[in-house]
Amino acid sequence: MPNDIKKLRRLMRTAHVLQKGDDKYGQSFALKKAWWFESLRDALANGFARFIYHKNDGTTRTALGTRSPSLIPVDKLPKGDMSDGEDTWEDSAKTIPYFDLDKNEWRSFSVLNFNSLDRVWRFNDPGTSSRHTGGVASAEKG
């Protein structure tokens, strides 16, 4: 239960950041985009995902990333106990750090720049070694 409360607080903070950061977001759309961003956090913690965001220079970046300690080289792991995965990450409502599997380096991006979650591979689903979820979320205002 405490993790659910923590997740809900982070979700509401993220929606608030979205509304304050861009006036085109109404409350409803800000909450929807915050849920998409939370889906990305969950996907990165439990496997890896391909997602799209806008870089600060205005270009669009398609990234393949993870936050799953089993997929990150030992010398690149953050310091501290990573045994419980998601709970030990230092998170904010504004940005998300991820390990870029293509560049083999840590990267981060702003929730305001998140575009879409394209594909997810999860490793903790019972009875399967991986699961594909295509076209999970798009954060473009329509």
Q: Give the pLDDT confidence of 16-68 residue by residue, as tens digits.
A: 888 887 667 688 888 888 888 888 888 898 899 999 999 989 999 999 999 99
**pLDDT tens-digit series, residues 62-86:** 999 999 988 999 999 887 655 544 4
Query: What is the average pLDDT score of the chain?
Result: 78
Of the candidates 130, 127, 94, the residue with the CA atom closest to the CA atom of residue 113: 94
CA-to-CA distance for 81 and 59, rounded, in angstroms?
35
Contacts of 56 (CB under 8 A, 6+ apart): 113
- Count Cβ atoms within 10 A of the Cβ of residue 9 and give its class: 0-12 exposed, 13-18 middle, 19 or more buried: exposed
